[in-house]
Amino acid sequence: MTKPLWSPETSRRIIARIVVEGDLVLQTPAHFGNGDTDELTDMPLLVDPLDGRTPLLTGASIAGALRSYLRERERGYGQPADRSSASVLLFGSLKGDDEGEQSPLIIDDALGKPGTFGIEMRNGVGIDPKSRTAREDRLFDLQLWQAGTRFPLRFELLIREGDDSDALKRALATALMGFNDGSITLGARKRRGYGRVSVVGWRVKTYDLTQADGLLNWIEHGDEPLTNVTTVSDIKAALGVAAPVDDQREFFHINATFLLDGSLLIRSGSGQDDRGPDMVHLHARQASGIRLPILSGTSLAGALRARALKIANTLDARGRAQALIDEMFGVEMRPGVQPKASRVIVTETVVQNARTDLVQNRVSIDRFTGGARETALFNEQPAFGKSDTTVTVDVRLVNPRDHEIGLLLLLLKDLWTGDLPLGGESSVGRGRLKGERATLTYQSGGASRRWEIVTNGQGLTVTGDRVALERFVAALNQYLRGTKP
C-alpha cells in the first residue's frame, strides 16, 4: 500500500516558513542580458516574455549573487566553500556532491515595477594605450535599465525539523545585508560601476506550521504579498539575528574626493538630443529620478589601467609590467588567451555641483593658412567645475599584494596632482582633478587598517602609519626592478 505524502518517512517535516520581502532599487544602471544580439543594439536586455518590455531579474541571478557574496564573506575572495559553510547550508550542496541537500531557500523571479523603469543606452570603445585613439572594431553599445528601477524581491526560507534555524537565519541575514553595503552588484560589467543596488523596506513574516492557525494561514495567504507587515530597515533585527557571519575578505579600498579643475567631458553617445551640441557630457538618471553628470566607471577604469601600464613600463626591469597589469585589471579577450576578470573594482559616481548649461564653440585651424578649416566648426557642452564641484573616485582591489597596493598609491598620487586626466580632450586641459581628501582601508586577516589623507595648504596631513604606505611603494619597486627596499 502506498504511504501518504505527509507520512514521517516521506515528508520534509517543515515546521516553519519564513517569508522575506523587500524592494530592490537600482542605484546605478544595470544590464541583465538575454544572451543575444539584435539589429539595433549589440547587447539587448532580458524582458518578461509575456509583454516584451518589463524588466526581468531572474531568481537564479539573485541566488547566484547572494551565494557568491556569502561564500566570499565567510571564506575570502576566490576561496572554495565546504559542507560546513554557511553558503552551502543556505543554498544547498556543491556541484558534484551527490550526498548533499537542496537549498531550503526559495527565491522568486522579480519583474520591474511599472512606472519605475526605462532604458538607457551606453556606448563602449576600446582605447589603444599607445596611440590613445579608438581601436579598430572595438566600438559597441549596450542597453541598461536606468537607476531607480524597482524589483519586488521575495524569499521563502523553509525550516525543517532538526534544522539549525538560528544558523539558517544568520546566513540569510548576512547574505541580504550585502545588498545595502555595496558588496552585491548585479548584471554585466558590475566591476565597472554597473548594477549597484539597495533594498528598502524589509518585511518579514514567520508561519509556524506546527500550529493549526499558522498552517491554515500559510495555506490561505502564503502566496500573497506581505502588505500588513511592519517595514524595517535592518534585516538582522527583523530575523532576530544578533551578529552576521564574520567578514574574512581581503581588500584595499580607496575613497577619494577631488575638486574639478576646469572641465570634464565624457561623451554621452546615444540617448542625447540630436538638436543639441555635438558633444555633451555623459548624464545618467539617478535613483531619485534626477539626471546628473557622472564619472562613469568604465572611463575611470580605462584611464587607471592605461596609466598603471605606463608606470609599470617605466619601472620595469624584469619584464613583469604587462603581467602585473593583466593580473590586476584583467586579461583582455584575445584568441588563444584565457580571459580573466579584473580584481580592480570601480564605482560610477556623480559629479556634484557641476555647471552643465554652458556650450563652448570650437574650430579647427588649418596650420598652413592659419584660417578655419572647412566643416570643422563644432560645439561642446562639458561639465564645468565651480569652487564647490567635487568628484569622488571609489576603487577597490580584492586579494591585494603589497606591490599592487603600491601601484594604486601611485595612481592616486597622479590623480591628486592633476597629472592623470579623466575623460576626453585631455590635450586641451580637460579632466584635471585636485585632491581634497582620501580614505584608505586595508582589510586583511579579519583586521582593518585605515589612513586619512587631507590637503593642508600646500602640503598634506596624513593620519595613519605613513611608513606602511612607503613600504607598499617600495614593494612595487622591488617587484619590477628587483631592488630591495
pLDDT number for residue 263: 93
Cell numbers linked to 1: 500500500
Contact assessment for residue 346 and residue 299, using Cβ atoms and an 8 Å cutoff = no
Least confident range of 135-139, 248-252, 273-277, 467-471 = 273-277
* Cα–Cα distance for residue pair 70/87, rounded to 1 Å: 6
Q: Strand 56-57 to strand 110-111: parallel, antiparallel, or no bridges (unpaired)?
A: antiparallel
Mean pLDDT confidence for 135-147? 81
pLDDT of 297 > 70? The answer is: yes
Q: 22: which residues sit within 8 A by CB, 6+ positions away?
A: 152, 153, 176, 199, 200, 201, 202, 203, 235
Q: Is the pLDDT of residue 262 over 60?
A: yes
Nearby residues of 376 by Cβ (< 8 Å), 6 or more positions away: 363, 364
How would DSSP label each residue in 410-458? HHHHHHHTT-S--SS-GGGTTT-EEEEEEEEEEEETTEEEEEEEEEETT
Is the pLDDT reported for residue 4 higher than 50? no
* 398-450 residue pLDDT tens: 999 999 999 999 999 999 999 999 998 888 889 999 999 999 999 998 889 99
Spatial separation of the C-alpha atoms in residues 404 and 324, rounded to whole Å: 8
Is the CB of residue 21 less than 8 Å from the CB of residue 152?
Answer: yes
For the segment 307-336, what is each residue's pLDDT rounded down to a tens digit?
999 999 999 988 899 999 999 999 877 777
Q: What is the pLDDT of residue 3?
A: 47
For residues 295 and 391, the answer to whether their CB atoms sit within 8 Å is yes
Residue 267: all three cell numbers together = 561623451
Lowest mean pLDDT among 224-238, 248-262, 403-417: 224-238
Tell me the pLDDT band of 98, cut-offs 50, 70 and 90.
Answer: low
152 contacts: CB under 8 Å, gap ≥ 6: 21, 22, 23, 24, 110, 111, 113, 225
Domains of the chain, by residue range, sit at: 14-239, 251-481
pLDDT for the residue 2: 46
Indicate the DSSP class of residue 48: -
* 217 to 19, 160, 206, 300, 372: CA distances (angstroms): 13, 18, 10, 52, 79
Residue 84's pLDDT is what? 86
Cell of 115: 512606472
Q: Which three cell numbers stand for residue 160?
A: 525543517
Angle CA(116)–CA(119)–CA(120) in degrees, nearest 5? 120
Supply the mean pLDDT for the chain: 89
The distance in angstroms from the start CA to the end CA of the chain is 80
33 pLDDT exceeds 90?
A: no
Which range has the worst mean pLDDT, 269-278, 308-317, 446-455, 456-465? 269-278
Q: What is the pLDDT of residue 322?
A: 92
Q: What local confidence, expressed as pLDDT, does residue 424 receive?
A: 86
Query: What digits encode the pLDDT tens for the residues 364-393?
Result: 887 888 887 877 788 889 999 999 999 999
